[in-house]
Chain A
Amino acid sequence: MIQIESVRICELRGIRTLEIVPGRKSFVISGPNGSGKSGVVDAIQYALTGDISRLSGKGTSGLSVQRHGPHVDKRDDPEAAEVSLTLFVPETGNTVVLTRNVKTGKSFTLTPDDPKVRAVVEEVAQHPELTLSRREIIKYILVEAGERSKQIQELLKLDDVGNIRAILQTTKNRISSAHAGAQRDAGNAEDALRRHLDIKTLSKQEILAAVNPRRKILGLPEIADVAADTALNAGSLEASSQQVFNKQSAIRDVAALADAAPDFDTLAKPEVAGILKDIGVLESDPALLQAITHRAFVERGLSLVAGARCPFCDTEWEDEQHLREHLKAKLAKSKEAEALQQRVLKNASEVATQARRLAGLIGPIQALATSGGPFPAEFGAWWERLGTLARSLSSVDDVIAHKARLEEGWIGAPPGLPEKLTLIRDAINARPDQSASVAAQTFLALAQDRLSAWRSAKRAEKQAATAAARGQEVYKAYCDSMEEQLVALYAAVEGDFSSYYRDINSDDEGAFKAKLAPSEGKLDLEVAFYDRGMFPPAAYHSEGHQDGMGVCLYLALMKRALGSRFRFAVLDDVVMSVDQGHRKQFCTLLKSRFPDTQFIITTHDKVWAKQMQTEGLVGSKGGIAFHSWSVQTGPIFEQLADVWGQIEKDLAKDDIPAGAARLRRHLEYISAELADHLGAKPAFRGDFSYDLGDLLPAVIGRQAELLKLAAKAAQGWGNDNAKKEVEALKATRAEAMAKYGGESWVVNKAVHYTEWADFSKSEFKAVVDAFKTLLLLFRCPKPECDSWLYVTPRKGEAEGLRCRCMGFNLNLKPS
């Protein structure tokens, strides 16, 4: 997995240029609605996946990243739209820069490139759920059980798990089918052996009863037992079946074929009719056949679509959505084709089985014919054709290739077969009777030949049976493992989900529990409601609580889906579902349960963003606050980073207007922050539109009040140390205020900051120094803390003035 060091965005969505530096730590982006927060989320998602979910999915018809990803003023210049992420990859310890440009959005560059890192980034792209938006929370909670199951299976990548099950099922079926074929082949070989021996069953007794009298004629010792390596003709002259003719056996072979002939008209007739019907369907709808052969190709193509251009043929479509819909329609077509394909192959398998059985009956006859009997070519060709047919019905294309044969009669028996068989039988009968010794010798030779064929077929059958048993075992073991693990998984998710929710709502729902019940394609969810029983989440819980459940279930699922590799997530406005009374607990939940996970969080509630800093979920510089947005400039923001260092750089470049704008923005931001922190009271405005001139004097005045309160409290409690500390602070304040006041002729122009832009470098530097010194009064002096001071409690009489690390902690409460 990855963690983000920094993000650089150029001309993407609502952003012109922006750089943020989360530094592998959690980071909050705050700002009112429409200030550009989601643009950052879109940029991160785009860089990682090549997609922007806001421009795809339901309700986004006609939208595409290629056309609507770039800033509106760069819509004809997709190359200008680019995102670079500096990523840390914990698995490899590498830091790389990933860059994705909208013009070539399907690919990305890595600097330095490394196959292992590339594999990690590509894996991240398979986890779009790493970005969770508020509208997506409910998809785990307020949905039908079937849809919940689908969404959760998607998040947990259970489609892959299900895919393995499907492959193992296909494997089991194929092996089982091969076993059935081997059984039929062994049956055919057994029939041929029994027919030759003229016995009813292949018992040792019956075999020996047929064989030993012939051996006796030849003066050979009797065989006492038929073992695996017994040769029925042991001691006799060697002869191959092609050369051997045994009159009585040949008559029985001819009779067997003659007996089978009357059933030829009905043999596999329903299966052939089914095949011809399906071939008719395929011929009337060529796209169906194409869908069978192109399924894998289309699936791959769909995964590669990134824009309106076809990834294979470069055809430009109206937009990406049209191209996707076209490919999805093709896939839907291929599902219909898949069902037809399975039907055709099942019917063809029965035809092949019967063809093999018939070839088994014809084989001895054609051997007779080629050894001097009548109709040699005709029977030989028939035997060949059936053998070929039996071997070539394994694909839909092969079956279609045999369409004419299936229409005309797949058996293809020679015309006048009964008469010809009679002629053959007569020809056999016309041969002179074999001497007893020749008859015995040929009988034994053929018996051994067919016994060998039967043994070979039985061995193949046994091997196929072993494979079939393995296939069954493998499939069962997988299904059992899958069920056990999924039951355990859902129990674990259920436990984590309940526990997280209790963490947040311990004050009023400390006994909360949930029940996830998987069933065929569904996942039911019920939750406890104040000891009154288990109910669907929407039954009695408020919408805020339902949203909270969504976040908790998401976190529980991500923990199970990625385990210790859950190192990064984007929570886009998700935290708004947490009401004010439970924010502290929510921060604690993320910090304590996911200490190694970097959360990029957006919120339109500035106070909430600040609370994340106060609670230590994000660092003092781990955020950016957007004030507003304009189409020309993108987000207008104050980064919680080293503004003084940035102003120094502006001064070094003699760029006074840039430094002036930066200082003004910072003062606007920080005076609002401090007014909130300290409980300053500017003159009330009905539209809540306070400017710097309203806020800064109120903040400075409030600080003086607080120091007076601290001095009074120290005096009252007789706390000498506190008295000394307050005195020192007052002295520092007096010094800063002298500087502030001394420069007031320029500082007062803060209300009209544009005038600063016309200052000389030294004049402006004096302004910067004055404010810098002034603002130091409002923050913790410890560099490792450096947080802004705040009054506690937020409401009511002030009791303390503190920083986050408590290194600065003045008592304000009188004795």
Chain B
Amino acid sequence: MATVREDILNAFFAKLLKSGTLDQAAVDALRKLLERGKKLKAEDFVAALAQDPKDGTP
């Protein structure tokens, strides 16, 4: 059985993919940040979300 955190994150990623606002790459980037286990930093999430989906540059 998954932990509460895992349950929430799984539902979160599923919701993001379904909404279509974020593409798979952006969701993967968020997943990587949330699963890396280090201290979370807002600037890392800002960078991930500011990533241009077309040219890949911030």
Chain A residues with a Cβ under 8 A of chain B: 156-158, 160-161, 163-164, 167-168, 170-171, 174-175, 178, 463-464, 466-467, 469-471, 473-474, 477-478, 480-482, 484-486, 488-489, 559-564
What total of chain B residues lie within 8 Å of the partner, measured CB to CB? 28
Task: Specify which chain B residues have a CB less than 8 angstroms from the CB of A473 in the assembled complex.
Answer: 16, 19, 21-22
A-facing residues in B5-53 (Cβ within 8 Å): 5, 7-9, 11-12, 15-16, 19, 21-22, 26, 30, 34, 40-43, 45-46, 49-50, 52-53
Question: Would B5 and A467 count as touching, CB distance under 8 A?
Answer: no
Question: Would B19 and A171 count as touching, CB distance under 8 A?
Answer: no
Once the chains are docked, how many angstroms separate the CA of A474 from the CA of B17?
10
Once the chains are docked, how many angstroms separate the CA of A171 from the CA of B3?
25
CB<8 Å pairs between A and B, sample of 7: A164-B40, A463-B50, A471-B49, A473-B19, A474-B45, A486-B4, A561-B3
Task: Specify which chain B residues have a CB less than 8 angstroms from the CB of A164 in the assembled complex.
Answer: 5, 34, 40
Question: Would A484 and B4 count as touching, CB distance under 8 A?
Answer: no
Task: Specify which chain A residues have a CB less than 8 angstroms from the CB of B11 in the assembled complex.
Answer: 481, 484-485
Chain B residues with a Cβ under 8 A of chain A: 1-5, 7-9, 11-12, 15-16, 19, 21-22, 26, 30, 34, 40-43, 45-46, 49-50, 52-53
Question: Would A171 and B45 count as touching, CB distance under 8 A?
Answer: yes
Once the chains are docked, how many angstroms separate the CA of A421 from the CA of B10?
62
Question: Would B3 and A563 count as touching, CB distance under 8 A?
Answer: yes
Once the chains are docked, how many angstroms separate the CA of A477 from the CA of B46?
16
**Contact A469/B21 with A171-B46, A175-B49, A474-B49 known, Cβ cut-off 8 Å:** yes
Question: Would B4 and A171 count as touching, CB distance under 8 A?
Answer: no
Question: Would B16 and A562 count as touching, CB distance under 8 A?
Answer: no
Task: Specify which chain B residues have a CB less than 8 angstroms from the CB of A464 in the assembled complex.
Answer: 50
**Contact A481/B8 with A167-B40, A562-B3 known, Cβ cut-off 8 Å:** yes
**Contact A474/B16 with A175-B50, A484-B11 known, Cβ cut-off 8 Å:** yes
A580 to chain B, nearest CB (A): 33
The 3 closest A-B pairs by CB, nearest first: A563-B1, A481-B11, A171-B45
Contact partner, A470, options B5, B12, B22, Cβ 8 Å: B22
Question: Would A174 and B42 count as touching, CB distance under 8 A?
Answer: yes
Contact partner, A489, options B4, B16, B21, Cβ 8 Å: B4
Question: Would A564 and B15 count as touching, CB distance under 8 A?
Answer: no
Task: Specify which chain A residues have a CB less than 8 angstroms from the CB of B5 in the assembled complex.
Answer: 157, 160-161, 164
Question: Would B26 and A470 count as touching, CB distance under 8 A?
Answer: yes
Once the chains are docked, how many angstroms separate the CA of A618 from the CA of B50?
57
Question: Would B41 and A167 count as touching, CB distance under 8 A?
Answer: yes
**Contact A474/B22 with A161-B5, A480-B15, A563-B2 known, Cβ cut-off 8 Å:** yes
**Contact A163/B4 with A171-B46, A467-B50, A478-B12 known, Cβ cut-off 8 Å:** no
Nearest residue, chain B, Cβ from A482: B8
Nearest residue, chain B, Cβ from A559: B1
Question: Would B45 and A157 count as touching, CB distance under 8 A?
Answer: no
- SS class, residues of chain A in contact with chain B: helix
Task: Specify which chain A residues have a CB less than 8 angstroms from the CB of B12 in the assembled complex.
Answer: 477-478, 481-482
Task: Specify which chain B residues have a CB less than 8 angstroms from the CB of A478 in the assembled complex.
Answer: 8, 12
Task: Specify which chain B residues have a CB less than 8 angstroms from the CB of A560 in the assembled complex.
Answer: 1, 4
Task: Specify which chain A residues have a CB less than 8 angstroms from the CB of B50 in the assembled complex.
Answer: 175, 178, 463-464, 467
Query: Max chain A CB contacts within 10 Å: which of B16, B34, B40, B45?
Result: B45
Task: Specify which chain B residues have a CB less than 8 angstroms from the CB of A178 in the assembled complex.
Answer: 46, 50
Task: Specify which chain A residues have a CB less than 8 angstroms from the CB of B43 in the assembled complex.
Answer: 174
Question: Would A174 and B21 count as touching, CB distance under 8 A?
Answer: no
**Contact A163/B40 with A175-B49, A485-B7 known, Cβ cut-off 8 Å:** yes
A754 to chain B, nearest CB (A): 56
Question: Would B15 and A477 count as touching, CB distance under 8 A?
Answer: yes
Given contacts A481-B11, A560-B1, 17 further A-B contacts (CB under 8 A): A164-B40, A167-B45, A170-B42, A171-B46, A174-B46, A466-B53, A467-B46, A469-B21, A471-B49, A473-B16, A473-B21, A478-B12, A480-B15, A481-B9, A559-B1, A561-B4, A564-B1
A394 to chain B, nearest CB (A): 11
Question: Would A167 and B16 count as touching, CB distance under 8 A?
Answer: no
B8 to chain A, nearest CB (A): 5
Question: Would B30 and A474 count as touching, CB distance under 8 A?
Answer: yes
Nearest residue, chain B, Cβ from A488: B7
Nearest residue, chain B, Cβ from A472: B21
Once the chains are docked, how many angstroms separate the CA of A23 from the CA of B36?
35
A491 to chain B, nearest CB (A): 13
A177 to chain B, nearest CB (A): 10
A204 to chain B, nearest CB (A): 26
**Contact A167/B52 with A474-B16, A477-B12, A482-B8 known, Cβ cut-off 8 Å:** no
**Contact A485/B4 with A168-B45, A175-B49, A471-B49 known, Cβ cut-off 8 Å:** yes
Once the chains are docked, how many angstroms separate the CA of A340 from the CA of B6?
34
Task: Specify which chain B residues have a CB less than 8 angstroms from the CB of A160 in the assembled complex.
Answer: 5
Question: Would A158 and B49 count as touching, CB distance under 8 A?
Answer: no
Task: Specify which chain B residues have a CB less than 8 angstroms from the CB of A474 in the assembled complex.
Answer: 16, 22, 30, 45, 49
Task: Specify which chain B residues have a CB less than 8 angstroms from the CB of A175 in the assembled complex.
Answer: 46, 49-50
Once the chains are docked, how many angstroms separate the CA of A473 from the CA of B12?
10
Question: Would A477 and B8 count as touching, CB distance under 8 A?
Answer: no
Nearest residue, chain A, Cβ from B41: A167
